[in-house]
Amino acid sequence: MTPTDLFTPEDRRNIAARGMALATVVQQLDWFRSGFPFVRLQRPCTVEDGIVRLSPQEIDRFSALHDQAAHAGRVLKFVPASGAASRMFQSLLNLANRTEPLTPAAIADAADSGDVDCQQFRQLLANIEHFAFAADLRKVLARDGHTLDGIIHDGRYRELLAYLLTPQGLDYANLPKGLIQFHRYPDHSRTAFEEHLAEATVYAQDGTRTAHVHFTVSAEHRAAIEAYLQRVLPRYEQAGCRYDLTFSVQKPASDTIAVDAHNQPFRDAHGELVFRPGGHGALLENLHDLRGDLIFIKNIDNVVPDHRKAETYRYKKALCGYLVALQNALFQHQHHLRQESVTPAAIVDAMQFAREKLFLHLPEEVRHGEPATQRRFLLQQLHRPLRVCGVVKNTGEPGGGPFWVQGQDGSASLQLVESSQVHMQAAGQRAIWQAATHFNPVDLVCGVRDFAGKPFDLHQFTNPRTGFISIKSKDGKELRALELPGLWNGAMAAWHTIFVEVPLSTFNPVKTVYDLLRPEHRDG
């Protein structure tokens, strides 16, 4: 039996209706069977060995380059915003799903015995007034004749959780994270979406005073998100800035098939194939479709109140300006190399630029080869999208980081690597991982046009061998799910990659509701 024999005519019609090729689904089944190879870490990137540290003078100079590019309308802000807030409230959901009574005494006893969910819940109760959503919570409680103080005083914790998490009240467990009230201001509170609008006016605004922002959102919430943003836009347009807001959803064609424990296609109770979102790597399709020029990428939850944004703005502009300067030099070398009259000296200069500024590996046969060989190599290798990635000092946050990674041909390249990509039991690999000095905060600027101004076909620069397989469940049955190469990992593996150190103050993610109690998210 061939892999295609696993699919009925109805399966094939459904696959085609999703915009997928049958060959793509077959390839996904092959990945489940063979698994994905681990990357081979060579060494961590450090300052002066793969990570650039900018001087104050360089920051000012590159910021000016950013301002010129933004004024010319080259800049777009891209925010992956389809994530649900359920993970943010997982600890509270765990409590709400318990069958035992949630009385003050029970919570106190469990917390004192080391129950983390109960310990955190006591933290929420003690600090409820510090959350930006407290005012909205009071409103939904008052609508039904309750008060926040009264419901806490009486120990009606299950009711409190219902009003916070379910459609009975704010429904926060079912909303996208971008619609959660993050920060409180004197006359209003802001969601994460609004904080990104505020940021966009500073580094994504063009000469016509229009800020260009693209959000990727879930299909089920798109209408609500668009309506919400239209309601709040007037507040941010008061200073004269207008917004060009665009939206997209993850395409069904970028989903991946699920399989059972035997790597056979998983079927639901109706016998239909089950497909799952392919992870944030699927957003490469959305990024590609924008046909942009200079694109900032930043996660929806990495925002701070206005009084803490200055450092973020300073380094955002510097990253973009660094990319513009590098891109200008790259394009100039490509222009020279394309001339039939190119001189050997120009080829040597281009090789030095490729090695020292782009960190490209130059094989021995190229380094010591004829000028014609060197020219062919450079013309091929320089023609790639470019990304400048901010990295922060590693303080123990979970997630990936910058490494020198060994390729199949033995060469090393700069890559952002997640722990799931590393064989931690292999000799030396765990030690290299643990020696990392910097962390990936997902703070990058992308140059997605070539020297002729044409958008790259971003699909040509991915590494499909860097996906990930995880265990999920549906209808009470275990299934295996396939995630595509991550957007800033394997999906950009063949891009020119530059790491620039940025301060830790620019990295303030909100992964749980309790992160909102950190000083960086509190009122000024």
Residue 154 lies in a domain: yes
Residue 219 lies in a domain: no
Is residue 340 domain-shared with residue 467, that is, in the same domain? Answer: yes
Dihedral sign, Cα of residue 404, residue 406, residue 412, residue 417: negative
pLDDT tens for 372-388 read 999 999 999 999 999 99
Pairwise pLDDT comparison (477 vs 113), residue with the higher score: 113
Query: What proportion of the chain, given as a percentage, has pLDDT over 90?
Result: 89
What does the buried/exposed string (b/e) look like for 257-295 if buried means 16 or more CB atoms within 10 Å of the residue's CB? bbbeeeeebbbeeeeebbbbbbbbbbbbbbbbebebbbb
Is residue 268 domain-shared with residue 387, that is, in the same domain? Answer: yes
Is residue 126 domain-shared with residue 265, that is, in the same domain? Answer: no
Show which of 153, 174, 195 is a domain's final residue: 174
Is residue 299 domain-shared with residue 378, that is, in the same domain? Answer: yes
What's residue 53's pLDDT? 97
Question: 481: Cβ–Cβ under 8 A, 6 or more apart, which residues?
Answer: 256, 258, 276, 469, 470, 471, 472
Is residue 49 domain-shared with residue 111, that is, in the same domain? Answer: no
Residue 439 lies in a domain: yes
Pair 487, 444: CB distance under 8 Å: no
Is residue 135 domain-shared with residue 262, that is, in the same domain? Answer: no
- Amino acid, single-letter form, for residue 414: L
Please say if the pLDDT value at position 168 is more than 70.
yes
Please say if the pLDDT value at position 16 is more than 80.
yes
Is residue 105 domain-shared with residue 154, that is, in the same domain? Answer: yes
Domain holding 118, by residue range, is 90-174
**Tally of domains within the chain:** 2
Is residue 63 domain-shared with residue 116, that is, in the same domain? Answer: no
Is residue 501 domain-shared with residue 371, that is, in the same domain? Answer: yes
pLDDT tens for 33-62 read 999 999 999 999 999 999 999 999 999 999
- Identify the CATH number of the domain in which residue 375 sits: 3.90.550
Residue 215 lies in a domain: no
**Per-residue pLDDT band at 524 (split at 50, 70, 90):** low
Q: Six-digit token pair at 83?
A: 């994530």
Residue 81 lies in a domain: no
**Per-residue pLDDT band at 3 (split at 50, 70, 90):** low
Q: What is the DSSP string of 441-472?
A: EEEEEEE-B-TTSPBP-GGGG--GGG-EEEEE
Is residue 306 domain-shared with residue 277, that is, in the same domain? Answer: yes
Residue 109 lies in a domain: yes
Pair 180, 191: CB distance under 8 Å: yes
**Per-residue pLDDT band at 1 (split at 50, 70, 90):** low
Pair 428, 71: CB distance under 8 Å: no
Show which of 142, 158, 174 is a domain's final residue: 174
Residue 147 lies in a domain: yes
Show which of 127, 149, 174 is a domain's final residue: 174
